[in-house]
Amino acid sequence: MSTDAILSFEEAMEKYDPVLGFEVHVELNTKTKMFSSAPNVFGDEPNTNVNEVDLGMPGVLPVVNKTAVESSIKIGLALNCKIAEYCRFARKNYFYPDTPKNFQTSQYDEPIAYDGYLDIELSDGTVFRVEIERAHMEEDAGKLTHMGGATGRIQGADYSLVDYNRSGVPLVEIVTKPIEGAGSRAPELAKAYVAAVREIVKNLGVSDAKMERGNVRCDANVSLRPHGRERFGIRSETKNVNSLRAVEHAVRYEIQRHAAVLDSGEPVIQETRHWHEDTRTTTSGRAKSDADDYRYFPEPDLVPVLASREWVEELRATLPEPPAARRKRLQADWGYSDLEFRDVVNAGVMDSVEETIAAGASASVARKWWMGEIVGRAKTADVDPSELGVTPETIVELNKLVEGGKINNKMASQVLDGVLAGEGTPAEIVEKRGLAVVSDDGPLLEAIDAALAAQPDVAEKIRSGKLQAIGAIVGGVMKATRGQADAGRVKELILERLGVEG
């Protein structure tokens, strides 16, 4: 396989202006398929979630899944689209074993949703509007496994095996208008756009939205044009870009590759490219040709879908708060800085923090626990923070123990370990492990006197007003009491002992 020449991203950006476009396929999580009552379930034994409709047997009649239509309308509304009052399905004709019917039931010139937009927030807060051309309903194809050959890729395969469980799973294909003006942010925008679509369909509850399972799949179109030119360049369409990171890398790579082609004076070939995660490069698929003449025509076995305005408004009323709006609201409510909030979001604990606050913790306490204690433990255990086993109630109780002076932060951390080890409630663990803070001043004063005697120079500094030196004495006391003292109280007592005003 030959390696394509590429320019550095920086040089490509100096010379050319990228234009992007995306087709994102979203698998709906309906119980049944788009046109048959066979179950829509991932990961079952091959060819067990099929019936005569999915296998394209002669004389069968497809029937539209009402829930799938409603999910499609919800997606359209969440993408700020207009919803067609009247639309039809169409046959997209092609021969390939992934569809046993020799056509895919899709929509052609009458998509159920059209003319929308999505505002995408980039990492620095810049908002970029992506225009949505359309979102249409269709069905997924079966899964092919290419056998033999060297690489498991289609080229050189001896034969292919087909599992039609996925055949007929409801899909919504979301198509953007050409995205201009992204400049060097194009790769980042690509990733952020797909992430936003995934988040929206997940938030709507209409898709499981797991990219690793192919619930959300992206085809990325890239073209370049010299700066200042209006006419678009020739585009490539990169398929099989199925993680957020891959979307970013694929767009970046195609920009670099196109730039090198254009620099060499050759025209870019309009073609499908295949993304390879291992090498982070694309290779040429087939060139667009008359094989793409799909001879669409209205599906004669299905009647039109009429979306009355009442129905659409009913569905609109069920939409949850959009993810971006929710984030804005939560950050304002919690009073977190941009950085603090982004860390919480990136750590995947926003929902947990929200629940913890709802359970009675303050915003800062909730953040302190999730970010300071739980995220790290989750990472070690290699699970999602929310799946570690810490409930909001546990955090509220732990915090009460700390604020009531029963335990200090260090002990609280040990108590949390106890909770995770299944030793009981925080209060029980404090009891069992004998973790209560030493609050009797007697033993504390003894330890303080010992620490002051051990570090007379530090004691002298504190007496002369250098209060920051107190840490060394506090440290000595904490060590002597094995961490079981209340540091605040220790500080007070030290100052008292030395006759210094705090």
Partner 1 sequence: MAAINRDDVAHLARLAHIEMSAEELDRMAGELAVIVDSVKSVSEAAGDDVPATSHPIPLSNVFREDVVGHTFTAEQALSGAPDSFEGRFKVPAILDED
- Judged by the rule CB under 8 A, the positions of this chain that interact with partner 1 are 30-32, 36-39, 45-52, 55, 63-69, 86, 88, 93, 95-97, 144-146, 148-149, 154-164, 285-286, 290-291, 293, 295, 297-300, 302-306
Nearer to partner 1, 84 or 388 (CB): 84
Minimum CB separation from partner 1 for residue 190, in Å? 27
Minimum CB separation from partner 1 for residue 152, in Å? 12
**Ramachandran quadrant class, 59 (left: phi over 0; alpha: psi -120 to 50; beta: rest):** left
Nearer to partner 1, 71 or 256 (CB): 71
Residue for token digits 């913890």?
356
Minimum CB separation from partner 1 for residue 311, in Å? 9
Minimum CB separation from partner 1 for residue 206, in Å? 12
DSSP 436-491: --B--HHHHHHHHHHHHHH-HHHHHHHHTT-GGGHHHHHHHHHHHTTT-B-HHHHH
Nearer to partner 1, 64 or 467 (CB): 64
Minimum CB separation from partner 1 for residue 109, in Å? 12
Token couple for 21: 């476009």
Q: What angle do CA 122, 134, 177 make, to 5 degrees?
A: 50
**How many CB atoms sit inside 10 A of residue 377's CB?**
17
The closest alpha carbon to 201, from 221, 174, 168, belongs to 174
Handedness of CA 320, 324, 328, 333 (dihedral sign): positive
Nearer to partner 1, 100 or 214 (CB): 100
**Cα–Cα dist 37/65, whole Å:** 8
Minimum CB separation from partner 1 for residue 238, in Å? 16
**Cα–Cα dist 366/421, whole Å:** 21
Minimum CB separation from partner 1 for residue 174, in Å? 21
Nearer to partner 1, 109 or 119 (CB): 109
Nearer to partner 1, 43 or 465 (CB): 43
Burial 272-300 (b: 16+ CB within 10 A, else e): bbbbbeeeebbeebeeeeeeeeeeeeebe
Nearer to partner 1, 97 or 488 (CB): 97
Element (H, E) at 326: helix 323-334
Q: Kindly give the pairing relationship between strand 236-241 and strand 271-276.
A: parallel
Minimum CB separation from partner 1 for residue 24, in Å? 23
Whether the Cβ atoms of residue 40 and residue 284 lie closer than 8 Å to each other:
no
Minimum CB separation from partner 1 for residue 215, in Å? 17
Handedness of CA 454, 458, 459, 460 (dihedral sign): positive
Nearer to partner 1, 14 or 52 (CB): 52
Nearer to partner 1, 204 or 363 (CB): 204
Nearer to partner 1, 117 or 294 (CB): 294
**How many CB atoms sit inside 10 A of residue 471's CB?**
12
Kindly give, in sequence order, each residue whose CB lies less than 8 Å from that of residue 27, ignoring residues fewer than 6 positions away. 140, 169, 170, 171, 207, 208, 214, 215, 216
Nearer to partner 1, 93 or 413 (CB): 93
Amino acid symbol at 124: D
Amino acid symbol at 217: R
Minimum CB separation from partner 1 for residue 483, in Å? 58
Minimum CB separation from partner 1 for residue 397, in Å? 42
Minimum CB separation from partner 1 for residue 129, in Å? 33
Residue for token digits 């010379």?
15
Whether the Cβ atoms of residue 72 and residue 273 lie closer than 8 Å to each other:
no
Amino acid symbol at 252: R
- In three-state form (DSSP H/G/I as H, E/B as E, the rest C), the secondary structure along 96-141 is CCCCCCCEEEECCCCCCEEEEEEEEECCCCCEEEEEEEEEEEEECC
Nearer to partner 1, 232 or 311 (CB): 311
